[in-house]
Amino acid sequence: MVVKGKFYDAHIAYDRDQVSIFFNKIAAKWGLPIVIQEFVRGTEVNVVALGDGKGNTIGAVPMRKTYITDKGKGWGGITLQDQTMMDLTQKIISQTQWRGGMELELIRTSKNELYMIEINPRLPAWVYLAVAAGQNLPEALVLLALGKELKPFSEYQVGKMFIRYSYDMICDMKEFEEFSTRGEV
Amino acid sequence: MEKIKVNVALSGLNNIDNPGPGIPVIRGLKESKILDVRVIGLSYENLEPGIYMHDLVDKTYKVPYPSDGFEPFLDRIRYIHEQENIQVLIPNFDSELFTVMKSEKILQDMGIRTFLPTLKQFEERHKSNLPEYGEKY
């Protein structure tokens, strides 16, 4: 089974005792409700999308995670050509008249079935992959917020990849002190 | 064509190993051929890397946690708005979405626009409601 918090955290539990342990752990940290559901084995695929609030999908880019960290976060991914994922996204956006950014988190099983595991109501951290693939969704979101009419994106590049990396940025302690004390920098 | 100048405030500057969406969103905005964006960062912690990324973030302000309640958050946004004339606000954390959605009208009256799901859309898609959501849509 998988034990999940309302906003954050998820653990795979292999027996009843582990379910109880993770339930209490997540409840103590993030509160209730807790979701307990069947563990679905497969590949993690996601879609980043933007709805205009009138039922139109302004943009959508599907991606498969190519590297997942021990925290379960994507450290690499590649854009996909996947009509089923696109159809699902457009259906959700049109039927709910979704307004704003959205991330669909899905599992594709070895039998090619798709299971939805989460809908995040915002742009995800990997949104720059969509920008690089030809859909500047952050720009489109700001234009929509400003009341501009937008034509939906019609394409994106398939096979674009992102590889996350860490980097030691150097900054002055003076700036850190200024932000810590004055709250702006 | 002259670019549209716009002041955008956003959070999620925690560009760490489990990053918030702030910096990737800013990269998209800064590459825009239509918009000339001044980025105002909103940060909860002193060590969020985005605070110190001056090539991407023009100015950063510390903000109170959403769990501190609506008023402290709105008071701080009001102050930042007086300094920066925020035109668009993009909350990038799940935990602050509810506060901003609830404050949408107040923000709008201040002249700050958002582009977020409605509260109904937000509540319906919670993980615990997904089976019913799937059947409905």
* Torsion sign across C-alpha atoms B17, B123, A49, B95: negative
Q: By C-alpha distance, which of B86, B11, B80 is closest to B48?
A: B11
Token reading at A150: 């937008």
Backbone angles phi, psi at B97, to 5 degrees: -60, -45
Fold (CATH) for A41-163? D-amino Acid Aminotransferase; Chain A, domain 1 (3.30.470)
A19-41 confidence digits (pLDDT tens): 899 889 888 888 888 888 888 88
Chain B CB contacts of A169 below 8 Å: 49, 52-53
Give chain B's radius of gyration (CA, Å). 16
Q: Compute the count of residue pairs across chains A and B with CB atoms less than 8 Å apart.
A: 146
Distance from C-alpha of A65 to C-alpha of B70, rounded to nearest angstrom: 36
The confidence score (pLDDT) of residue A8 equals 72
Structural domains in chain B (count): 1
pLDDT at B17 over 90: no
CB–CB contact A121 B117 (8 Å)? yes
Residue type, A75: W
- Residues of chain A short of pLDDT 50, as ranges, are none
The confidence score (pLDDT) of residue A180 equals 97
Distance from C-alpha of A46 to C-alpha of A49, rounded to nearest angstrom: 10
ipTM reported for the complex surpasses 0.90: yes
Quote the pTM value: 0.92
CB–CB contact B94 A8 (8 Å)? yes
- For B111, the domain range is 4-136
Distance from C-alpha of A58 to C-alpha of B61, rounded to nearest angstrom: 31
Chain A CB contacts of B49 below 8 Å: 169
B104-133 confidence digits (pLDDT tens): 999 999 999 999 999 999 988 887 788 888
* CATH assignment of the domain containing B48: 3.40.50.20
DSSP state for residue B68 in the 8-state scheme: G
The strand pair at A99-108 and A43-52 is best described as: antiparallel
B21-79 confidence digits (pLDDT tens): 999 999 999 999 999 999 999 999 999 999 999 999 999 999 999 888 889 999 999 99
DSSP state for residue A158 in the 8-state scheme: T
B101 vs A32, which has greater pLDDT? B101
